[in-house]
Structure 1
Amino acid sequence: MLNKLSESIYYLSNQDDRERPALGLVCGEKHSLIIDAGNSTQHAKEFLLEIQNLNVPPVKYVVITHAHWDHFLGMNEFDASVIVNSQTNELMKEWQSFSYDDRSLQKYVSQDLMNVKCAEIIKDDIPNRNDFKLNSPNIIFEKTITIDLGNKVCLLEQVKSTHADDSTIVYVPDEKVIFLGDCAYGTTTNSLFHFKQALLLPMIEDIQKFDAKMSLLGHESIYDSDEMNLYWQELTAANQAVKSKSLEDAKENFVAEIKREPNDNELFFIQAFVNDQIINS
């Protein structure tokens, strides 16, 4: 069931147990725009069925927020122009070259080109896989592009990100709603989850220039401005405390600077920043 944010903005909630991110829908007077295409053809079909129950203009555009499989493998199901930034376009080319039969999937998993969960979901949720080929995007932009849906404008911009270098956000100015995809999350390198310290503050600056009352993150629910500001504050406080590969030093720094013990979220972030120090050492 779609969640309604306003008369023109809806979203389908994430499903963590099925590796499904939240999918967005913005409706203008003439056209509608979708944010992210889902992790499979089945995910996309379920989203489209929900949209059919609404009295909204036809979907003309699908924006892919970044080139991680769970955000684009459903794109073939949409009779619409797929929009990506140029970096996302280059990263998706590998997936366009893939075959999706069982033998090929096993090969990609063994070569670390695809994780086991991805292969399992493809097997379960993409039928007729022997003939499946991922389509190419239709509209490729550099840095930023504006899409007019008819009395409803969407601003698309590639931003700095601690999650993926090709991250795109979608901002709806008149509603003050921003779709962040996964850009505000960390990432995993060599089995270590980490936030990229060097990109944290530039990312926050990129995102906070948009006046957003509501933010939708790819694998969570809607955040209002107070909740989003708290998220940034906790990330920033944890980041400031980490100056080396020592978790204990970071905890001590946090207490010395903030004058209290870190909460559970901040402890998680501190460990992630320590992991970044380890990875970059």
Structure 2
Amino acid sequence: MLKKLSNSIYYLSNQNDKDRPTLGLVCGDQYSLIIDAGNSTQHANDFLREIEKLHVPPVKYLVITHAHWDHFLGMNEFAATVIVNSETDDVLTKWRSYKFDDSSLEEYVHSNQMNKMCMEIIQEEIPNRANFKLNSPDIIFEDRLTIDLGNKVCILEKISSTHTDDSTVVYIPDEKVIFLADCVYSTTTNSLFHYKQAMLLPMIQDIQKYDADMFLLGHESICDLDEMNKFWKELTTASKAVTSTSLDHAIKSFKVENNRNPNDDELFFIKAFVNDYIIQSNKF
């Protein structure tokens, strides 16, 4: 069921058990815009059936926030102009060469081009895979793009991110709402989860320049401003404690600086920043 954020903004909540991210719908007087396409044709069609119940203006645009499979594999189901940034398109070009039969999927998993959950979702929720091929986007932008849906402006911007190099956010100024998708999350390299420490402050600056009260995230659905500020504080406090590959040293530094032990979230972030140091040190 779609949740109503305002008279013009709706969202389909994430389902972590199926690795389904939050999907968004923004409605203007003339057209509607969708944010992310879902992780499969089934996910996309579930979303479209919910949209049909609303009797909103026709969907004209679909924005893919970044090129992780759970956000774009449903894109073929939408009769809409597909918009991506240029770096997202580079990754999608690779996916357009993929075959989706079982043997090909198993080979992609074996060669680390795809994870096992992705394969299982494709097998379960994308029928007729023998003929499945990902469509090409229609509009490719570099840094920023403004879309007017009819008295409803959406600003698309490629921003710095700790999660991917191709993250796009969607900001609706008159609603003070921003769709962040996964841009504020950690990432995984060589099976090691980590937060890109060098990208943390640039990312926060890119997001905080927008006057937003509500933040929609890929796998938590929605946060208000107080929740986001708490998130930023925990992230930056954890980051300041990490200056080496030593987890023990980072935890001790945190205790000295803050006169307390890190909470569970801060400890997760500290470990992720330490892992980033490990990954960066192994590059040289």
- TM range, normalised to the smaller chain? over 0.9
Alignment match, 2:220: 220
Q: Which amino acid aligns with 1:218?
A: G
Residues 141-170 of structure 1: CA deviation (Å, up to 9, x unaligned): 010000000000000000000000000000
Between the aligned partners of 1:107 and 1:193, the Cα distance in structure 2 is: 23
Q: Which amino acid aligns with 2:29?
A: E
The alignment partner of 2:188 has SS state of: strand
* Percent of aligned pairs with the same amino acid: 69
Between the aligned partners of 1:185 and 1:109, the Cα distance in structure 2 is: 23
The alignment partner of 2:179 has SS state of: strand
Between the aligned partners of 2:236 and 2:258, the Cα distance in structure 1 is: 11
* 1:221 CA drift (Å): 2.4
Between the aligned partners of 2:203 and 2:240, the Cα distance in structure 1 is: 15
* 1:106 CA drift (Å): 1.2
Alignment match, 1:242: 242
Between the aligned partners of 2:159 and 2:252, the Cα distance in structure 1 is: 32
Alignment match, 1:62: 62
* 1:259 CA drift (Å): 2.0
Q: TM-score, normalised by structure 1?
A: 0.99
Between the aligned partners of 2:249 and 2:265, the Cα distance in structure 1 is: 18
* 1:24 CA drift (Å): 0.3
Alignment match, 2:208: 208
Alignment match, 1:231: 231
Residues 98-132 of structure 1: CA deviation (Å, up to 9, x unaligned): 11111111111111111111011001000000000
Q: Which amino acid aligns with 1:240?
A: K
Whether 1:96 and 2:96 are equivalent positions in the alignment is yes
Q: TM-score, normalised by structure 2?
A: 0.98
The alignment partner of 2:169 has SS state of: strand
Larger CA deviation: 252-261 vs 28-37:
252-261
Q: Within 5 Å, give how 1:103-252 maps onto structure 2.
A: 103-252=103-252
The alignment partner of 2:26 has SS state of: strand
* 1:213 CA drift (Å): 0.2
Between the aligned partners of 2:221 and 2:12, the Cα distance in structure 1 is: 10
Between the aligned partners of 1:192 and 1:118, the Cα distance in structure 2 is: 18
The Cα RMSD (Å) is 0.6
Between the aligned partners of 1:159 and 1:37, the Cα distance in structure 2 is: 20
Q: Within 5 Å, give how 1:29-40 maps onto structure 2.
A: 29-40=29-40
Residues 220-260 of structure 1: CA deviation (Å, up to 9, x unaligned): 12100000000000000000000011111111111111222
